[in-house]
Amino acid sequence: MKFFSIHHCVLIFLTLIFTTAPASADVTIWGRLHQPVTLTCKHDCAPRVAKWNDLKTRSVFAQCDETSCSSYKEGYKMSHDQYVKGDLSLTITAADYSKRNRYACECGAIDYSIQRLRIATVFSAVQMRPDEDLLLDLSVPEPVKVFYRSSDSADDELICNVTQSSAQCSSKYTSRTSLHHPQLTLRGVTSSDSGTYTIQNTEYNEDIHVYNVSVTGLSKGMITLIVLLLLLLLLVISGIIIYGCIIYMKLKRRMKEVKRIINQIESVNKYTAEGQREIKKLIESRGED
């Protein structure tokens, strides 16, 4: 009898530890922005009510009972097929920053799992031309730090501390930055602004967004200047061509005139020569007389 009860005790203890152990520490789940993410919770709850709620406010996202599952907020789903098999997982259809909560998986007023959803760093590559404005999306409502690291440096430089209402930037950046939350603008970039810009959550030091910025090519001003110069060159060349044509036409007309005059002179010469010959003949005939 004694042995039997110890055996029972151990069984109950093991059962408590391995199948029904209430949650002790948070599990961190990394979701990708706008992608679905699943918070897993394995517990044989049926036929009791199983629910996922906000650990702080206890407002319910979704729940299942013997007959069905229902969602209380859009974008959260539990599956009844899984619930009856002891799987209480919650599917978040599209993770975003507003869903970064601590979630509790509850069955019969006991939390079996507590999970904190975080959003993985977003990377973007940005190709820019000189003089353009760099727009950094801060994405989140909480205070952030903005770091810059130039392409040839290994160190991040803290360039701005930003809250919803103000941006405090280092003196090098103050005159070039403006805040329209959630957007921070860096005006008139040059090739020396190339590098990575990191938006980091101040409270948790989480990288929210990393921009890989490359500033290359000619600025709009330079392109306009080059186009103007080309137009000017075109104008000069067409001027020269038109002038050349006019000169050519004039010369051609002159040549025609000269030719005509030469012809006239030639014909006059012919007559003169004939006249001279005639006179010669006349003189000769007089001499014979």
Ligand X SMILES: *[C@@H]1O[C@H](CO)[C@@H](O)[C@H](O)[C@H]1NC(C)=O
Chain residues binding ligand X by CB under 6 A are 125, 158, 160-161, 168-170, 196, 212, 214
CB of 134 to ligand X, least distance (A): 14
- For residue 135, give the H/E element and its range: strand 134-137
**Between 139 and 196, whose beta carbon lies closer to ligand X?**
196
Nearer to ligand X, 82 or 194 (CB): 194
Angle ∠(247,250,255) on CA atoms, nearest 5: 120
Which residue lies nearer to ligand X by CB, 60 or 126?
126
Q: For residues 53 and 39, what is the distance between their CA atoms, to the nearest angstrom? A: 12
Residues 6 or more apart whose CB falls under 8 angstroms from that of 49 comprise 63, 64, 65, 107, 108
- Least distance from C-beta 179 to ligand X, angstroms? 13
Smallest gap from Cβ 147 to ligand X, in A, equals: 10
Q: How far is the CB of 80 from ligand X (least distance, A)?
A: 44
The pair of structure tokens assigned to 279 is 């006179």
For every residue of 48-115, DSSP letters joined together read S-EEEEETTT--EEEEE-SS-EEESSTTEEE-HHHHHTTB--EEESS--GGG--EEEEEETTEEEEEE
- Please identify, using beta-carbon distances, which residue of 89 and 163 lies nearer to ligand X: 163
CB 148 within 8 A of CB 196: yes
> Which CB atom, from 37 or from 169, has the smaller least distance to ligand X?
169
Task: Quote the CA–CA distance of 164 and 144 in Å, as a whole number.
Answer: 9
Q: Give SS3 for 270.
A: helix
Give whichever of 181 and 277 is closer to ligand X, judged by the CB atom: 181
Closer CB to ligand X, 53 or 177, in the complex: 177
| Least distance CB 182 / ligand X (angstroms) | 18
Start-to-end C-alpha separation, the chain: 188
Q: How is residue 51 written in tokens? A: 């629910």
Least distance to ligand X from the beta carbon of 173, Å?
8
User: What is each CA distance from 3 to 10, 67, 154, 209, in whole angstroms?
Assistant: 11, 42, 66, 61
CB of 210 to ligand X, least distance (A): 7
- Give the nearest distance from C-beta 214 to ligand X in angstroms: 5
Q: Which is nearer to ligand X, 161 or 185 (CB)?
A: 161
